[in-house]
Structure formats: C-alpha cells, structure tokens
Amino acid sequence: MSDSIVITATALALAEQPAPSVPAGGKTASGAFSILRLPEEPADRRHTQLSSRLSRLIGELASRAGLLPADLAGPATGLVSGSRYGCSLVADMHRRLRELGPRGIDAVGFAQATHNFPVSACAIDYGIQGPGIALVSSHAAGMEALTCGRDWLLEGRCDRVIVAAFEDLEGPAAAHVELLAAPGAPPVHEAMALVLLERGSTARARRATVLAEIAGTAMMRPGAETGDLRAVAQRAFGHLPASMGILLAAPESASPPETADGAPMLVDCLAVGGLLALIRALDQPGPGDWLVGALDPRTGGIAAGLRCPPTACSEVAA
Amino acid sequence: MTGSVVITGIGVVVRDAMGLDAFADWLMPGGALPDRPEHFDTSAFRAGNAYAVSPDRCATALARLGLAGLLPESDRDCAAHGLLAAAEALAMAGLDDAALRAACGCVMATTSGGMMDRFADAICAGDDGADYRLTAPPGATAEVLARQFGLQGPFASFSSACASSPAAFSYALSRVRRGDTPLMLVGGSDRMRAADFAGFNALRAMDRDSCRPFDQTRRGMVIGDGAAMLVIEDEAHALARGARPLARLREVGLALDAHHITHPSPDGLARAMRQALHRAGLAPDQIAYVNCHGTGTPVNDKTEVEALAAVFADESARPLISSTKGATGHLLGSAGAIEAVITILALRLGCAPAMATTAAPEPTRFPMPGPDGPAPFAGTFAMSNSLGFGGINSSLIFEACAGDAR
C-alpha cells in the first residue's frame, strides 16, 4: 500500500510593509506600483542574505515540526526550492563585470551567484544529503517544487522534504517586475515560504502533529480549466469533494479563479503564491478539503488537494 | 501507462554540429579543439577559449526551419539553441500533430536561463527594457519553447548549476510515470555569457588551451554552449502511435554532498549512482559504460574516480568510463542533457567516443577510450553522471532498445 504524504510544518516570511531599511527606490516614481521588500537578513561570510533567510526559516520549520536541526542531517531529508527570478546575485555578477571588468568577479561571489546556492548552503548548514535541486521557473515554481518534493517521497528517495519558494526582488528583477505590472496593479511582496513534507509513516513513527494530507496534485494547462475547477479537483483529490475551499494564486493577467466564500485573499508574491495559498488554507479554522495552487497564464499551473485535520490525523493514525 | 519510459526524439546543437547524425559523426572520432567565441571578447580573461555556437550559424539554421521570423529578436537569442534542438527532437519523434503536442510537457535545464543580463544592460542604458518583457526571467527559454511548439503539458525549468539537466529528467520522468502526461520534451539549452566565463576564470577552473579529462596533466575545463533536447514518452504510448524507441530512460539518482560549495565529495556522487542502480533494479556489473562529468579540473576528476571506485568496487564491475567535455566543452546547465544524448549514442553504436585530448590518462582500474578512436563495449545499460556547484550530484541510467544502430 502506498504511503500518504503529509504536511507537518510551515514557515513564512512575507513582506507586509515597506521595511525601514528599504530605500525609496522600491517604489516607482509615480507611486502607482510598489514592491515590498523583506527586511535585511544578517548573513555571515558563508551566506548571502537569501541563503541566510532560508537557513533561519529551515530552523524554524524544524522546530515547529518537533525536529532538532540534527534530525535533518543525512540522506533521509531532501531540499528543493522554486522561484520566478532566482537569486538576484546572478544578475549582479553581470553588473559587476560590466562596471569593473574581469577583476570585479571573485571566486566566492561567483560560487554564491548560482540559483541553487541557497539550497546548497543550507544543505551544508544542516547536513542535508537527500535529493536537492532548484527550480527557476514560472509563477507556479513554488508548486513545481512541491510536486518535486512529493515525487521524491512517493518514489521512496527520502523520508522528508523541505520545500521552499522565494522571491529575491533586487536590481534587475525588481525592474522587470515593475515593467510587467499593469496600471493599478497591487503591490508585489517579496516572500519566502517553506513547507515540510513527510511520508505519513515517518510522521506517524515520531508522533508528529499533522497539519494536512496531500491527497494528490493536478496539472493545469495554460488558459484552460480555470473557469471550471471541478475537473482539476477531481484529479487532485481522486474524486470531487462534496465541499472544498479553493485558493489559487494567479498573477494579474491570469483568469481569476473561483474562490470559496470567506476564503482569505492572497497577495501577489510571484512564485511563492502557491505555497502562500497552502499556508493560508492551513490557517483556516476547522477541518475541510482545500484545493490550493498557482496559475501562470503562459505555462499553466499546479493544484494540490489538501485534506485538513481531523481527517488527515485519523488517516495517518489509523 | 507501463512505467517504462523511452526516448523517441533527440535534437542537438553544439559548436561543431547541428543535428544528431552530424553530432555523432563529429563526436565519435574525438571532436575538435576549442577557439575564441564570436559573440564576446575573451581577451581580458586568463583563459579565453570556448566551444561557442556561432550566432550567425544559429540564425541561418533558424531561418532554414522557418523559425526566425516567428519570434522577436530577443526570443531567438534567449532560446535559439533550444529551439533548433527541440525542432529536431519533435520531428524525429513524429510529433507534428497539434493535439499530441498539446499533451506534451516541457521541462528545461539551464544555467542562467533568460536574458536578464541584456535587460539589465538595457535599463542601465536608459531604455525601458520592454523588448525583454517575456524573455528576461531565467525560465524564459522553456516558456519560448512551450509557446512556439504548442506544448501545454506539465512545465518546469531547473537551474541547479551543472546538475540542472538530470533534475529536469527526473521531473519529466515522474510526470510520465505518474500519468500526468504520456510524453515530455526535456533537455537543456544555454547561451554562453561573459559572467560565467569570468566566474570560472576567477575560480581558476579553466584551462587556457583545451580540456583534458582524466589526463595526468589536466588543468581545467573549457566552457561550451548549445542545447540537447529529447522527447521522452511512455513506451506503450510510443508503440501505439508507431514511434521508434531510441533507448529507455531507466532511472535517475539525486543526492546532495552537504560538503562544500565548490569542492565536490565522492560520497554524494556515490550515493546518487547507488540510488539510480537500486531504483533501476540493476547491479553495478550490469553497467557497461559510464559517461562521467569529467570536467578536466584536477579536483573533479579525482573525486569522480574515487566515487566510481566505491560503487564499482567489485572486480566484476569494470565499466568503460569516459568524459566527452574534451570534445564538446562544458555546457554547464545543459551538460547533463548533451551527455545523456552521448550516452544514448554510445549504447546504440556500441562504442564510446575517442578522448582526443587525453594523451596521458590517469591510471585507474577502469578502461578508457584512447585519443585515436572510439572504444567498443558490450552491454545494455549505461550511466551518465553530473555534478553541480554546491554539491548537487546526479546519475542517469539508460537502457539500449533492441535493433540499433542509429
């Protein structure tokens, strides 16, 4: 019998207000559109701000899951990240080369300017030796990362996976977000969201609190199926739930999906949106089924069917 | 769905060859030496040679396929290599039907992906950068390919340094095996950038002249660019529509070192290889050929031989090993994709390409091709390994299909 895949902890850093340390350049001259930046993260020489934030949030995630940092060490834990723009230092390399020539590029800076650097640096911090990769992809990259993590668990590659989504909107990435913003678009929030996935048997063995079970995932084609999410839910849950909440992150240009009555609103945080939807669904009181995910108007999206406790708890405990 | 996944189409673009047949003919005798790239000046760098695809040749090939006029200039530059390789792979797989293409997904591997560097240049020069609206983000190449070829199935783009391609293969394999789609276009596409050139020079990881993998006098890598795209497909689906399987993609192993950002550890690669073998239900002595990462840096090649010695420890397990980076250069994020193609070619032809630049090979217990010609081997299974910055390790296993050669 195949094992269930459950969520045992989440962690979130979401820029809610313009941080005091963020220069006014975070806003356009007209003030019509803004990017809200996360506060600066203390980082030692081994880390960038981004990898330092990820490392800190992994610590929080482990603590919330009832795990010690040492529990993450070894091949039983995997780590995957998803992002739309990746690490801003990649673009910064190009700027330094343009302004300073070859001497402006140093070995440490180059090593840190790879999109998988946060994953790799945190793997070293915590001794994580399971599968590890970085996606720099569509607006649904966070959900693509979640799908990767779920694959690894279903395939028996490891027992738990830390799924991270982030946006690092500095320099050219911020300018590009601003370029794409439609008139009157809401602010874009820099964010980092983490979800800890575990095999049900692993969670059960350590008597972990289960926040939800992932019943399944469903791929959504670009421009299709967003008007009728029943087919998507059918695939994600394996049946059409009698009632469910729906929370799908979509950029301004995507077709607005249905939303359940009373569902929380999502802010635009690009590829973090799918995991933010998942976290917001888990924040809702009471048991229930949720269809959460993210849509990209050009490339489609991914939805996950969540069975929230007590159903998931009883299934895992059974 | 059968769980068995085959390759039904392959496309290749490298400096010296466009197309699979031309690539095989050029590669097997050992390829050619690197030279200066056309599209940027490398004279300020300590090591300036590369295997860079000529932009003019690329533009001519796009025009010949009727792809040049369909895309704005910026799209072509971002995705040109991938477009050419994808067009060949989709044609070879017989995917000319719009409904089949709509079911097909697209998963790409890349180093830096889109055109954020050009976008940054544009805004720095006072331009609004609008030409790069769709092509600046790192995942833009995959978006261009999906849009151009009408691929509406599962989508993703991986950037995990030099192990990006196996990550893409792993995701694509899971999508087919899980029934999300019967077929996927998967591969890697990269355009050489001055920043990558500068970075590897800063690391002192580049040889001034040529890449000599596993040679006793090796001094480093030489960067290349290009693309390799493959159509992978559920075997039953492929056979039902009359497609010809070129090889089977048996498994992927993935493991982190957790050791050092730039210094690899043999332990991580050994775990990736063992994972792939275990998942494929194979013993080490069933692997006939290993296409190594083999960058030609002193540290990488030494680490890789140590990992191979650990996994193929039994005397009965002595696969032929080689690196082809002395012929293609190091395609970074796309390296795993081009080397997957080379591994499939080796299985189909029953021989590994000559290692023309390796005149004095390190003594190991593994046989290696010499510089003068391809090395024959007998066997059904072959492995392709990739290592990435940050300790990302991966191993692909392919199986020959009956009735080869190409």
Residues A153-180 have pLDDT tens digits of 999 999 999 999 999 999 999 999 999 9
CA B32 – CA B34 distance, rounded (Å): 7
The CATH number given to B5-240 is 3.40.47.10
Cβ atoms of A277 and A292 closer than 8 Å? yes
Closest partner CB to A94 (pick from B117, B147, B254) = B117
Residue of B nearest to A171 (CA): B120
Cβ atoms of B139 and B364 closer than 8 Å? no
CA A72 – CA A162 distance, rounded (Å): 9
A-B Cβ pairs (cutoff 8 Å, strict): 235
pLDDT of residue A25: 39
B5-240 and B251-399 agree in CATH topology: yes
pLDDT at B223 over 80: yes
Best B106, B115, B116, B250 member to test A by mutation, with max A CBs in 10 Å, is: B116
CA B88 – CA B228 distance, rounded (Å): 10
Contacts of B220 in chain A (CB under 8 A): none
SS3 string of chain B?
CCCCEEEEEEEEEECCEECHHHHHHHHCCCCCCCECCCCCCCCCCCCCCEECCCHHHHHHHHHHCCCHHHCCHHHHHHHHHHHHHHHHHHHHCCCCCHHHHHHCEEEEECCCCCCHHHHHHHHHCCCCCHHHCCCCCCCHHHHHHHHHHCCCCCEEEECCHHHHHHHHHHHHHHHHHCCCCCEEEEEEEECCCHHHHHHHHHCCCECCCCCCCCECCCCCECEECEEEEEEEEEHHHHHHCCCCCCEEEEEEEEEECCCCCCCCCHHHHHHHHHHHHHHHCCCHHHEEEEECCCCCCHHHHHHHHHHHHHHCCCCCCCCEEECCHHHHCECHHHHHHHHHHHHHHHHHHCEECCCCCCCCECCCCCCCCCCCCCEECCCCEEEEEEEECCCEEEEEEEEECCCCCC
**Residue A92 pLDDT class (50, 70, 90 cuts):** confident
Structure tokens of A201?
């048997």
Chain A nearest C-alpha distance from B120 (Å):
6
pLDDT at B309 over 90: yes
B329 touches chain A (CB under 8 A): no
Residue B380 exposed, middle or buried by CB count within 10 Å (0-12, 13-18, 19+)? middle
Contacts of A135 in chain B (CB under 8 A): 156-159
B283 touches chain A (CB under 8 A): no
ipTM: 0.96
Cβ atoms of A271 and A140 closer than 8 Å? yes
Contacts of B134 in chain A (CB under 8 A): 298
Closest partner CB to B138 (pick from A115, A155, A219) = A115
Contacts of B200 in chain A (CB under 8 A): 110
Catalytic residue numbers of B?
162, 293, 330
Closest partner CB to B152 (pick from A97, A121, A222) = A222
The label of the residue with tokens 């690329």 reads: B58
Closest partner CB to B147 (pick from A172, A173, A298) = A298
B255 vs A75: CB contact, 8 Å cut-off?
yes
Contacts of A123 in chain B (CB under 8 A): 256-258, 390-391
- Find the range with the poorest average confidence among A304-313, B228-237, B238-247, B254-263: A304-313
B140-162 pLDDT per residue, tens: 999 999 999 999 999 999 999 99
B285-294 pLDDT per residue, tens: 999 999 999 9
Contacts of A173 in chain B (CB under 8 A): 116
pLDDT of residue B40: 84
B274 touches chain A (CB under 8 A): no
- Select the more confidently predicted residue: B175 or A94: B175
Q: What is the pTM of this model?
A: 0.95
| Region B222-248 average pLDDT | 97
The label of the residue with tokens 């293409």 reads: B101
Residue A112 exposed, middle or buried by CB count within 10 Å (0-12, 13-18, 19+)? buried
pLDDT of residue B404: 58
| Region B55-82 average pLDDT | 86
B139 vs A141: CB contact, 8 Å cut-off?
yes
CA B17 – CA B355 distance, rounded (Å): 17
pLDDT of residue A257: 53
Contacts of B156 in chain A (CB under 8 A): 135, 137-138, 141, 144
Classify domain B251-399 by CATH architecture: 3-Layer(aba) Sandwich (3.40)
- Select the more confidently predicted residue: B3 or B382: B382
CA B346 – CA B324 distance, rounded (Å): 11
A121 touches chain B (CB under 8 A): yes
Closest partner CB to B139 (pick from A93, A138, A148) = A138
A159 closest CA partner among A65, A298, A299: A65
Contacts of B105 in chain A (CB under 8 A): 219
Stated length of chain B? 406
Query: B291 φ, ψ to 5°?
Result: -85, 110
Best B45, B160, B265, B277 member to test A by mutation, with max A CBs in 10 Å, is: B160
CA A166 – CA A116 distance, rounded (Å): 12
B157 vs A136: CB contact, 8 Å cut-off?
yes
Domain assignments of chain B as residue spans, ordered by start: 5-240, 251-399
A84 closest CA partner among A217, A265, A249, A215: A249
pLDDT at B74 over 70: yes
Query: Please, which residues 13-42 of chain B have a Cβ atom closer than 8 Å to chain A?
Result: none
Best B256, B257, B269, B389 member to test A by mutation, with max A CBs in 10 Å, is: B256
A118-150 pLDDT per residue, tens: 999 999 999 999 999 999 999 999 999 999 999
B73 touches chain A (CB under 8 A): no
Cβ atoms of A55 and A122 closer than 8 Å? yes
pLDDT of residue A104: 87
Residue of B nearest to A123 (CA): B258
pLDDT of residue B19: 97
- The Cα-based distances of A236 to A232, A281, A302, B268, B367 in angstroms read 6, 16, 9, 34, 49
Query: B29 φ, ψ to 5°?
Result: -75, -10
- The Cα-based distances of A282 to A10, A14, A309, B276 in angstroms read 9, 16, 9, 35
pLDDT at A314 over 90: no
Cβ atoms of B175 and B184 closer than 8 Å? yes
Query: Please, which residues 20-59 of chain A have a Cβ atom closer than 8 Å to chain B?
Result: none
CA A188 – CA A165 distance, rounded (Å): 15
Structure tokens of B101?
């293409």
A263-279 pLDDT per residue, tens: 667 899 999 999 999 99
A298 vs B203: CB contact, 8 Å cut-off?
no
A93 vs B174: CB contact, 8 Å cut-off?
no
Strand-pairing partners, residue B228, are B12, B188
